[in-house]
Amino acid sequence: MSGRTGTRMVVALAACAVVLLSTIGSGAAAARRPVPAPVYGPSAADPGLLRVGSDYYAFMTGGPLAEVARSNTPGGPWTAQPNALSGWGDWASGAGAVWAPDAWQTSAGWVLYYAAQAKGFAGQRCIGTALADDPGGPYTPTGTPLICPILGGEDPVAGRPDATAGVIDPNPFQDSDGRRYLLYKTQKTPGTIRMFPLSADGLHSRGELSHELVRHADSIENPAMVKRGDQYVLLASANWFDQCRYSTVWRRSTDPWSFADKEEHVLLDQASTGLCGPGGADVVTGGGGPDLIYLHGWVCTADDQPCQYDGVVTDPNKRRVMYAARLVWGTDGATPAVSAFLPPVPAR
């Protein structure tokens, strides 16, 4: 072996060692990466977020008349507000809690969409509307459901896979041309996501019925849509909400009505975050602030440690808390990724 060849080999071996140590070090760092802390902990399932100026409003499953919290920073501190709804719509049975409320501003004022058990529907839910002068409510329900297979719903959910299924998880979307839509889920399996064209005031049909966007043999729910250039990004929660494998997924299309044949990607799951069931997500864009994603996950301890289960989370102390993260869009401007979770801001 010549001296030059030996020198090259030593240098090469040293370089390999550096690469190997670097790889091991980065893997260890990833393993030690802290699990995100919730920004809101009392109870925060299916958060629907609204940014109004410097204020943030989080509407959440619960109540019975829907929970809402307010903050003037993205990470809190969050202050619980009175019930989002002033009462039940005439169509609602009054049983159970309101699920997955979400709000926006239209020409009619502040409009809240919510899912509640409907009268004469065997415990299944329909989606109603409610109005308020202030984004935090209280919202006064309108008399008839907007989306409901019975009771005169303006969208009767024609063609849903299970004729006995109700509808939940309303989420509003406004396209770049100003037209308004409401995304939602049909219950039972297979799970489906549908979109319904809305009038300009967000309270009625635009004369068209909803159409199915995608279905899942297991379950898919909590839809949210974002327009990025000529791309529509559909986010949703896959699998069952009461398990740690519940996750946030996304698909992308140039046609807002065509997602069934588009590849599904995982945005957030237990393996990538350390959280139990990171789903129920909603996205905050515009308004002069950064793009953010809010979601829930299961914790099983008083100090908000994520539950550790392979199947259904059965711990009697379980509850869902809210996390917040920065959402970025990749070099193409339309590939969602979470750059960092926001730390909670403690109350002063």
Is 201 an annotated catalytic residue?
no
Task: Read off the tokens for 153.
Answer: 């719903």
Q: Are strands 265-268 and 45-52 parallel, antiparallel or unpaired?
A: unpaired
Q: How many CB atoms lie within 10 A of CB 85?
A: 27
Q: Which of 282, 245, 92 is nearest to 170 (CA)?
A: 282
Identify the DSSP state of 172.
E
Residues in the chain: 348
In three-state form (DSSP H/G/I as H, E/B as E, the rest C), the secondary structure along 232-301 is EEEEEEECCCCECCCEEEEEEECCCCCCCCCCCEEEECHHHHCCEEEEEEEEECCCCCCCEEEEEEEECC
Q: 79-80 and 67-71: which strand pairing?
A: antiparallel
Per the residue annotation, which of 46, 67, 269, 282 is the catalytic one?
46
Cα–Cα distance measured from residue 168 to residue 323, given in angstroms and rounded to the nearest whole number: 22
Whether 46 is catalytic is yes
- Residue 86, token pair as written in the block: 């002033």
How does DSSP classify residue 303? T
Asked if residue 283 lies in contact with residue 226, where contact means CB atoms within 8 angstroms, the answer is yes
Q: Which of 102, 221, 269, 282 is catalytic?
A: 221
Which residues neighbour 145 within 8 Å (Cβ) at sequence distance 6 or greater?
89, 91, 118, 126, 127, 128, 151, 152, 153, 154
- Residue 320 CB contacts under 8 Å (≥ 6 apart), including other chains: 43, 44, 45, 277, 280, 296, 297, 298, 299
List the catalytic residues: 46, 221
